[in-house]
Amino acid sequence: MTRPAKGPRKRIVPSRKGAEPEQPRWRRLLAMPLVRLVILIGLVGACAALLVAALILFNYDRQAARYDLTAVGRMPMESTVTDATGALVGYLHGENVGTPLPLDQISPHFLQALVAREDSRFYQHHGIDHRGLIRAWLRNFQEKRTVQGASTLTMQLTRMTFGLTGRTMQRKLLEMAIARRIEHHYTKDEILTHYVNRVFLGTGMNGIEQAARGYFGKHASELSLPEAAMIAGVIRAPNGFSPFRHYDAALREMRSTLHRMADEGMITEEEAESLCLARPQVLPQARWMEMLREEAKISEQSHLLRLVEEEVKSLFPSHVGVGGLKIQTTFDLRLQAAAESTVRTRLAELESRPGFTHPTYAAYQSGDPAYLQAATVVLENYSGAIRALVGGRDFAHSEFNRATRSKRPMGSVFKPLVYGTAFERGLFPGMLISDAALAPGEIPWDKIGWDPQNADGVYGDRLPVETGLIQSRNTMTARVGEWAGIDTVIAMMEHAGLGEAERAEPTPPLYIGTIGANVRDVTSAYSAFATGGTRHQTYFLESVADRDGTVLYQHEDANYRVLSPGAAWLTSKLLKKVVADGGTGAGLRQMGFTAPAGGKTGTTNDFEDAWFVGYTSRLSCGVWIGLDQPAKIMDDAYGGRIAVPVWHDLMTEASRIGYEFGEFPDPGEVIQMELCRESGLMVGDDCRDAGSVYIEEVPHDLIPRKNCHSH
């Protein structure tokens, strides 16, 4: 038996006990705790980013749902604004787009040029061109400035329809959300039709038909390709690329548009080069302006129209770009004319006085006006309806509305609210209070060491409380404020619609009116003295209806009590004395105003602001005079000297127009009572022994319920 031949033995290497096969490098990395932590953080961050993005999209989609998409299909027309009597105040959104055209009546050259120039992927995207968006963001990031936009035609139509302005990210995201909704609601041809009939093309031209007629004297269907390309090139900067004023720039944009059409394959490069040699004949601008004057409804802009426009935009964003609204306001154009006239006349008189050193209105040429300004508001006490408003001397010089947006220190005009608050807490006009200089530490919470000065530099003894308001004594007012308490005064101030920011860190000078406020709000606060303590919130929109007559808005009265009837009556009784002999507003009676009225003057430090706010039984009126950049108006520019005459003239004209001024309402039962001059409580035997008894007229709701035990 033969054995098999022995071959070479295989070397057997014994494996080590417990050894594992070698793992790939990526697995070894994943096994490292730090790497796992980084990956986990990355995944969490990505999920968080996706969640934030989803929330942002949801938020802006929800905002976009507020906008009425049917507005996209309504062509712009003017909105008419009327006053309370139906007289025309003016027009808003006064574009005249003529007759809108269907696409088949518009030159296909223009439609191609428009798409090539503004949105080459118009027929591929759904409102947002994501490729274009990324490309624009990368380009702008590279240039570190905005050099390229990414707005599609749908996004541009969104801006035009709903009046979206600004360059913020919030506005852009809202625009995108609305654009997506428009794409779901309208076909591409419908979107293009609405766009070409509405787009602004310079010099009052809205829509392709007006541009064709204005620039070239043609119907939109008759435009040649160079003409169409020139108009399409205007869109990004209608004023800068206007063929009327900047023909070379318009020619450059025409050529750029033709090359874009070649890039998109709409024409050949050879055709583009040949067409770039064309120089379309543009008609004179004067011819178009004459046509515009004949066709468009344009009114002179004013503070009133700007107020209405801003309010309507806030209430009805969907209607801003399309107009067609019938807007009735509370204004009375007769009273408005009187307000503007008296401001012009009285301020011109001030500028002509010796000692007036500022630039004058008559010498104004350009820039921010440095001449003397004024603001005034007239409103109905029992409704809050604004009848007249002057926001400055000339809207053409400055659009800033000083009656609603300028917060100037009120000075002594604020003091009646301090006294009214104290009256609610048991103070009475006949009680005694010191007119001496404040002693250190007299106001325990004072951290600034306040030492108020009386305007005449004189300090008195203990005087009746009413003297402090009638003669505007600062030291007495500070003590009256302390009687009421700073927190109570601030609460009353806020309730009256003033000083929202003062609660954070109040200081004692607040008592004498160092806080800022605008004329409208101060006048509204004063109306509560005329109505027995009730303030009706101011308004100027009475109703708004759309072009079909559907009422979109109807004002509803909003009122609430600021002061009790008794406190309002006591304060008003003193404010009537302010305009009588011996008061700071005595000039009103000296000028011949005889109707029942109350009011208060105000003058800030170094005569920088002059105020008079007053009221009759029907109307309240506030007047402010000063410079936009606070500075001394002139020597002795007291509110009683320069603001009272404006009020006098305006209210005298209101009476002549037909506004009737009668007696003020009483607070119900008023009782003559013996009170203690020290405590304001019912008299005790010790009060008689101390000689502190006096007779006060006390409204029923303020009758003290306790006897005095202070003596």
Residues 6+ apart with CB under 8 A from 273: none
- Would you tell me how many other CB atoms lie within 10 Å of the CB of residue 443? 20
pLDDT reading at 301 higher than 60: yes
Distance (Å) of CA 406 to CA 359, 382, 413, 516: 21, 25, 16, 9
> Looking at per-residue confidence, does 558 or 323 come out higher?
558
Contact 614, 579 (CB under 8 A): yes
Residue 687 tokens, joined: 């009060």
Q: Look over the chain and give the mean of its residue pLDDT values, rounded to a whole number.
A: 89
Place of tokens 């200081």: 507
What is the C-alpha separation between 530 and 620, in angstroms, rounded?
8
Confidence of residue 13 (pLDDT cuts 50, 70, 90): very low
**What's the confidence (pLDDT) of residue 34?**
66
pLDDT reading at 709 higher than 90: no
pLDDT reading at 35 higher than 70: no
What is the C-alpha separation between 592 and 437, in angstroms, rounded?
37
> Looking at per-residue confidence, does 129 or 318 come out higher?
129
**What's the confidence (pLDDT) of residue 1?**
42
Taking the CA of residue 227 as centre, how many other CA atoms within 13 Å lie in the half-sphere pointing to its CB?
A: 23
Q: If you average pLDDT over residues 433-445, what whole number do you get? A: 94
What is the C-alpha separation between 78 and 295, in angstroms, rounded?
12
pLDDT reading at 72 higher than 70: yes
pLDDT reading at 131 higher than 90: no
Confidence of residue 24 (pLDDT cuts 50, 70, 90): low
List the Cα angle 645/650/651 in 5-degree steps: 100
Residue from 379, 402, 437 nearest 613 by CA: 379
Q: If you average pLDDT over residues 206-225, what whole number do you get? A: 95
pLDDT reading at 298 higher than 90: no
Among the four given CATH numbers 3.40.50.2020, 1.10.3810.10, 3.40.920.10, 1.10.3720.10, the one describing domain 95-296: 1.10.3810.10
Q: If you average pLDDT over residues 670-699, what whole number do you get? A: 93
Q: If you average pLDDT over residues 180-208, what whole number do you get? A: 93
> Looking at per-residue confidence, does 437 or 16 come out higher?
437
Rg of the chain in Å (alpha carbons): 37
Task: Write down how long the chain is.
Answer: 711
Q: If you average pLDDT over residues 560-579, what whole number do you get? A: 96
Residue 394 tokens, joined: 């000339």
| 162-176, 297-311, 496-510, 522-536 — most confident range | 522-536
Contact 176, 183 (CB under 8 A): no
**What's the confidence (pLDDT) of residue 611?**
98
Scored b (16 or more CB within 10 A) or e, 466-489 reads bbbbbbbbbbbbbbbbbbbebebb
Strand runs labelled E in 332-403: 373-380, 386-390
**What's the confidence (pLDDT) of residue 162?**
85
Q: CATH 1.10.3810.10 in the chain: give the residue spans.
A: 95-296
Residue from 449, 546, 537, 434 nearest 483 by CA: 434
Q: If you average pLDDT over residues 226-237, what whole number do you get? A: 96
pLDDT reading at 540 higher than 70: yes
Least confident of 249-253, 378-382, 453-457, 573-577: 453-457
> Looking at per-residue confidence, does 295 or 129 come out higher?
129
Q: What is the pLDDT of residues 333-357, one digit of tens each?
A: 999 999 999 999 999 999 999 999 9
Q: SS3 letters for 565-630?
A: HHHHHHHHHHHHHHCCCCCCCCHHHHCCCCCCCEEEEEECHHHCEEEEEEECCCEEEEEEEECCCC
Q: If you average pLDDT over residues 704-711, what whole number do you get? A: 87
Query: In the beta sheet, which residues pair with residue 543?
Result: 328, 554
Least confident of 51-55, 82-86, 258-262: 51-55
Distance (Å) of CA 417 to CA 333, 423, 453: 31, 10, 20
Confidence of residue 145 (pLDDT cuts 50, 70, 90): low
Sign of the C-alpha dihedral computed for residues 423, 429, 433 and 437 taken in this order: positive
pLDDT reading at 5 higher than 80: no
Q: What is the pLDDT of residues 276-285, one digit of tens each?
A: 999 999 999 9
**What's the confidence (pLDDT) of residue 164?**
81
Query: In the beta sheet, which residues pair with residue 541?
Result: 329
Q: If you average pLDDT over residues 113-131, what whole number do you get? A: 91
Scored b (16 or more CB within 10 A) or e, 33-63 reads eeeeeeeeeeeeeeeeeeeeeeeeeeebbee
Least confident of 32-46, 267-281, 447-461, 550-564: 32-46
Place of tokens 């996209």: 72
What is the C-alpha separation between 178 and 83, in angstroms, rounded?
34
Residue from 71, 322, 297, 114 nearest 220 by CA: 114
